[in-house]
Chains A and B, each alone.
Chain A
Amino acid sequence: MESEHKIWLIGGSAGSIKACISILKAITKPMDRTLIMILHRGNDYKSELAEIFSNATGHTVMDIGHQTKLEKGVYIAPQDYHLLLDETFNTCLELSEKVNYSRPSIDVTFESFSYILKDSLNVAILSGSNADGAFGVSKVLQRGGRAIVIHPEDAEFKTMPSETIKQNEGKCSVLKINELIQCIKKENT
């Protein structure tokens, strides 16, 4: 199935907020793609990441709602739900068990989006201290999508990128943060 525009999913855990801010700062506004950040965060509903990102980057960053159509713009997966994509291209928030001790789980979102979007999906893995995302990346690649993993040297916490690279050997591009930014920008012109 073809969607009108490419979609970027960016997954990360510990150490990813700073990286996301530099990515967003470098991208021209308004964003003419859909970019969704799937980040693990503390268990505090008050941690309004969307607001923090909006203030820091000048993009209007929105929490993704349930059954919403993805428009162009920058979104963040809300705390405590798994983010899925329905066959209608509407989002679906699911309140089920944690996966890899995480909710949202990067594996769950990458798998679900790639099932629907196939080769029009781009994903990136930033920094983190667990391996959530490695399986998701393998499904994205298997279904023809593109996966970029930040070079572990460039990540504040290396486990997530290293594990993802290890489990998808030779199949994902390993890039520096600046190169990832160039990639997203190129798509964004």
Chain B
Amino acid sequence: MKTKIDLFDIEMAEFTPVIETIKDYYGFDMSGYGSASLRRRFIRLMEQFNYDSVFELNHAIINQEISYQKIVNYMTVNVTEMFRFPPFFRSLKDEVIPYLKTFPVFKIWHAGCSTGEEMYSLAILLHEAGILHRAKIYGSDINSEVLEIAKQGIYKMNNLKEFTKNYQESGGTEPFSSYYTANYDMIKMDPMLSEQMTFCTHNLVHDGPFNEFQLILCRNVLIYFDIDQKTKIISLFDKSLCPTGYVGLGSKDRMITNGDDLEYSTVNQLTKIYRKETIGIRA
């Protein structure tokens, strides 16, 4: 029998001082993350660093034994894949890419891009539509480690079969193998795909808008936030979107607009693609 304390016996309320420490020291307010998920992430953080008590964890943060980036990197969940949820990419191809084609230069923001698979997926569709060279693609995430992977575009080969299937179901027209080179158990995405990409760390909770985009994707990120936080983030997107731009969310996300200030039409209910409508267009 192990005598080690069971981290799952820690009450959520015991983590409050840690949340406060992180907020005081780094200005990062995690209280808007859902409680069940937050509890699981804290337990994971303690497991990784072998802390037996919340007191120890808090102490380590105060004494900067764990860096801010380490905390963020362990507290966030970064699971993603190529062409995740193919119907989404199919509707981008059918409904949004024709719109992007009308611009000589257009900008796309992947907010919470994680390790970048979503960015490479869309870049492939843009390439097949002949407009990749006209794109400026920004990937942002709060987690600096995942951005490094995104930049390199090097992924494990394990999931290749699924990626290929997803690509085909998304309406891809080439052999998927023409977009990467394989080496041992890794694949490296064709550098042609990332030429238009820029990456930066950005915290959706308190960093501001940084450009005007024709398309913003923020998939499987909002589900970690409570309603207040989510509303704020959606209004951040609103400020960063051009007047007729599109927003794409994750399949479990829901668009929320506060009152009359934001007007969006639903482009596709299943794939959670929305379009901003200016008052002029509505009237």
A-side residues, CB < 8 A to B, are 43, 45, 65-67, 78, 81, 84-88, 92-97, 108, 111-112, 115-116, 139
Contact of B40 among A43, A84, A116 (CB under 8 A): A84
Measured in the bound complex, the distance between the Cα atoms of B37 and A139 in whole Å is 17
Nearest chain B CB to A59's CB is how many angstroms away?
Answer: 23
Does B47 sit within 8 A of A, measured CB to CB?
Answer: no
Query: Is the CB–CB distance between A115 and B8 below 8 Å?
Result: yes
Measured in the bound complex, the distance between the Cα atoms of B78 and A151 in whole Å is 38
- B33, closest chain A residue (CB): A92
Measured in the bound complex, the distance between the Cα atoms of B220 and A8 in whole Å is 27
Contact of B79 among A85, A86, A97 (CB under 8 A): A97
- B86, closest chain A residue (CB): A45
Contact of B36 among A65, A86, A95 (CB under 8 A): A86
Q: Which residues of A contact B85 (CB under 8 A)?
A: 45
Q: Quick one: which of B8, B86, B162 has the most chain A CB within 10 A? A: B8
Measured in the bound complex, the distance between the Cα atoms of B223 and A78 in whole Å is 14
Query: Is the CB–CB distance between A139 and B8 below 8 Å?
Result: yes
B-side residues, CB < 8 A to A, are 8, 12, 34-37, 39-40, 77, 79, 85-86, 162, 220, 223-224, 227, 252-254
**Given the interface contacts A78-B252, A96-B77, does A111 sit within 8 Å of B12 by beta carbon?**
no
Query: Is the CB–CB distance between B35 and A112 below 8 Å?
Result: no
Query: Is the CB–CB distance between B8 and A96 below 8 Å?
Result: no
Query: Is the CB–CB distance between B223 and A66 below 8 Å?
Result: yes
Q: Quick one: which of A78, A87, A94, A116 has the most chain B CB within 10 A? A: A94
Given contacts A84-B40, A92-B36, 13 further A-B contacts (CB under 8 A): A45-B85, A65-B252, A66-B223, A66-B253, A81-B252, A84-B34, A87-B35, A88-B35, A93-B223, A94-B224, A97-B79, A116-B36, A139-B8
Query: Is the CB–CB distance between B36 and A97 below 8 Å?
Result: no
Measured in the bound complex, the distance between the Cα atoms of B35 and A128 in whole Å is 30
- A98, closest chain B residue (CB): B79
